[in-house]
Homo-oligomer: A and B are copies of this chain.
């Protein structure tokens, strides 16, 4: 018996991994709930996976399982192709072929869209098909929908988000348990919050993929992952998390994009955030995105940013949207990047040196007279003003008889190139004993 009914949209899934299985299971389990909303069925009729035996055991006898994804693309009954393979290689090729075949595409592949989005959206525009990617940013949280539709009245001024669950889990563990990065990473791997090769997560690349997508849809510019400034969390020390805490801050890996008079900031790095902000209290593997707009002010969207069914939730929401807009005029649909393709502008992405922010600095210094004066005079000469200083007693840091100590400085806003000069000069002081730690600070108001 085929499940097909005349008022349903036929979907082909490429890749039957964690997310693919989630999409299939949630669609089956909530079939009637989804149909009551969409007004038509959404039905997976074909699945492509190299491991056809395993895929067959997951989807049962009513779904056709193929090893070759192109068999799905070639099937004229399939209206939507869901790409859940990941990566830039075959996934890109298949997405472009699906578009060429006139299929709508849903993908959770942030890496693909961050790097090849311009090419993919242009191809989709030519063929008049939709490419939906709610699952690509912050898992099931409907942040793409909020940015593209819910906030459409506003000039979006900035977006700042905890958009990588692995690193937020590691930072939460480091803070809660006083762990070092390496230990917290191992714990995250043991619990399944970090992959065996965690490079993309801990070095901030995954967050930068997502930030680049949010930047484009917030400001109406192309996806420009290649211009993002990216700094991960591997160099963070437990002591910086402690000092930040004492100063009323938490350290989070934020993906930030901001529109300024000079251009667009697009950056991923560890950031001190005031502990009283809601986003500072987002713990474990959870995600949250803050959006600041001219009319609405600040909103925040919080939830699970990864996992089989949370990600499936976003993929299926895209399928329901496609079912709704399927027969509508292409010009009436929500634009891929929130703004009409002919209204995308070329506001430049600023070099990191041009970014204005405030800073946390930790200097390991000799415990002798005049150190603070020499450091602060460098800052003063460069017009960098100081917000707070925390000077630790040498014996608190290094124990009885220690001759070095930590000097923590919080600065007010300054341009990053100026801070780079200051850091170079301070680093040359003979009383500064180790490389200076610099962490950016975001007040998020």
A31 to B188, CA, bound (A): 47
Give the distance to chain B from A419, nearest Cβ to Cβ, in Å.
32
Query: Do the beta carbons of B36 and A220 come within 8 Å of each other?
Result: yes
Give the distance to chain B from A76, nearest Cβ to Cβ, in Å.
22
A278 to B29, CA, bound (A): 30
Query: Do the beta carbons of B321 and A325 come within 8 Å of each other?
Result: no
Decide yes or no whether A101 CB sits under 8 A from chain B. Answer: no
Query: Do the beta carbons of B293 and A299 come within 8 Å of each other?
Result: no
Q: Which of B316, B327, B331, B335 is within 8 Å of A153, CB to CB?
A: B316
Q: Which of B38, B39, B153, B314 is within 8 Å of A317, CB to CB?
A: B153
Q: Which of B38, B328, B332 is within 8 Å of A152, CB to CB?
A: B38
Q: Name the interface residues of A20-69: CB closer than 8 Å to any CB of B.
A: 22, 26-27, 29-30, 33-39
Query: Do the beta carbons of A339 and B37 come within 8 Å of each other?
Result: yes
A287 to B278, CA, bound (A): 12
Q: Identify the closest chain B residue to A308 (Cβ).
A: B295
Q: Which of B145, B295, B339 is within 8 Å of A150, CB to CB?
A: B145
Residues on B with beta carbons closer than 8 Å to the beta carbon of A309 = 294-296
Give the distance to chain B from A109, nearest Cβ to Cβ, in Å.
18
Query: Do the beta carbons of A317 and B30 come within 8 Å of each other?
Result: no
- Chain A interfacial residues counted at CB < 8 A: 69
Knowing A304-B297, A325-B332, say if A316 contacts B281 (CB, 8 Å). Answer: no
Query: Do the beta carbons of B22 and A295 come within 8 Å of each other?
Result: yes
Knowing A327-B328, A327-B329, say if A37 contacts B145 (CB, 8 Å). Answer: no
Q: Which of B30, B150, B276 is within 8 Å of A142, CB to CB?
A: B150
A324 to B142, CA, bound (A): 19
A194 to B165, CA, bound (A): 39
Q: Identify the closest chain B residue to A27 (Cβ).
A: B153
Chain A to chain B contacts (Cβ below 8 Å), 13 pairs: A26-B295, A36-B220, A36-B339, A142-B299, A146-B146, A149-B320, A150-B317, A151-B313, A153-B313, A278-B302, A295-B309, A300-B302, A325-B332
